[in-house]
Amino acid sequence: MRNHLLFILTVFILFTGCNLQYAEEQPKVKLGIEVLLEDHLQGLEGKRVGLLMNPTSRVNGVHMVDTLMNSGVNVTALFAAEHGFRGQSGAGEVIEDGIDQETGLPVFSLYGSSKKPTAEMLEYVDVILFDLPDMGVRFYTYSATMGLVMEALAENDKELWILDRPNPLGGEYVAGWILQEEYKSFVGFYPTPVIYGMTMGELAQMAVGEGWLELEQIPNYRIIKTAGWQRDMIWPETGLEWIAPSPNLPTFEHAFAYAGTVIFEGTNLSEGRGTENPFLMIGSPDLNFSGSELDSIQEKHSVRIDSVTFEPRSIPGKALSPKLEGELCYGFHLSFPEGYSKTDPLKLGLALLEFNRDHTDDFEIKPFANNLFGIDLKTIIENKAGLPSWEDEVASFKKKRADYLLY
């Protein structure tokens, strides 16, 4: 009998231990779309609902358009930002109005002839549910789309629900120069640092509160917060699945590097588009270096840099006619074997920019680099001047943003 009881006790401990381990592996965070489904669907009753979403808008593997329609929500129109509602288009590809083949709903493009919803588009809806993933960087265009949608809905007396998400880079990492007004564009829409450490909901509140939008009246909007997210969490710590927010960011590692290596879009070097590892591979036919010359960058920025050769090619839906297409490029591949906590990706990108300037025979930095990073970086790099500090700008911004934080 005693041995029998010991056996039962052992099985119980092993079983409950496994259950505890399983529980610990479950997502720690709920997205705003999940909170909406659990607690707020009744608020949509009797309303014509538009969806501004992309392929990341999924719960249990099912896209929100299907979940909402199956739940009886009156979805009447879809809106497509860069890359399209279903994520079928590469970076910069024009999106056309059309019909969603899976639902038969009209799709209105916000990345074509107009990046702001027109009054005609908004005749179809009473409220728009906004669920686009932000990458925590000023040049990712979904935050600009959000601002233009807020302006349009305010002008047309419509309602906006922002279904919030964690900032993949966390809510504490803030870095880079404040955008200078002369470089404002669709890849630099708000006067924030390059990396601002806010969610879309927080950024929306700040844009309204600080007068960054062209508004004659306060927009009618609400924010459905995430549950369980803390500001010090980066994406891998949330327990959430990574679904590519755009075709060239297939993993969090790519998105992490992108925060800094995007600057190579503003040069004549390849940023890796047209390969399987955009933003993790940088190169040029004219780049000339030995691996040992990168040792100091590897050590300072806690990154591994391996020499590679690659040939950009056209990839439909991901990279049509990429820079240096068909040319053999010499360069390097980035990885983060020590994790992400010791690396500042923005500083890493700038260090690599200076390195490539000094080791590429035909190096060219273009005005677009100024739009990406918000200052006259072109002149600084060409003159080999020291990069200005952003510490005071970041400190001032963090003090100002405190009134708008939700988490």
pLDDT tens string 6-54 = 444 443 434 444 444 333 455 589 999 999 999 999 999 999 999 999 9
Q: Which pLDDT belongs to residue 86? A: 78
- Residue whose entry in the numeric block shows the structure tokens 């390195």: 355
Name the residue type at position 332.
F
Q: Which pLDDT belongs to residue 280? A: 98
Handedness of CA 91, 93, 95, 100 (dihedral sign): negative
Q: Please, which residues have CB within 8 angstroms of residue 354's CB and are 6 or more apart in sequence?
A: 381
Q: Six-digit token pair at 81?
A: 């930002």
CATH architecture of 252-375: Alpha-Beta Complex (3.90)
**Same fold yes or no, 32-244+400-404 and 252-375:** no
For residue 269, give the DSSP letter. Answer: S
357: helix, strand or coil: helix
How is 48-81 classified by DSSP, letter by letter? -EEEEE-TT-EETTEEHHHHHHHTT--EEEEEE-
pLDDT < 50 regions, the chain = 1-24
pLDDT in tens, 283-327: 999 999 887 899 999 999 999 999 999 999 999 888 989 999 999
19-35 burial, b at 16+ Cβ within 10 Å, e below that, comes to: eeeeeeeeebbbbbbbb
**Secondary-structure class of domain 32-244+400-404 per CATH:** alpha beta
Helix 345-359 with 252-261: angle, nearest 10 deg? 60
Break the chain into its structural domains and give their ranges: 32-244+400-404, 252-375
Q: Which pLDDT belongs to residue 113? A: 85
C-alpha distances out from residue 87 to 81, 98, 132, 210, 247, Å: 9, 14, 11, 32, 7
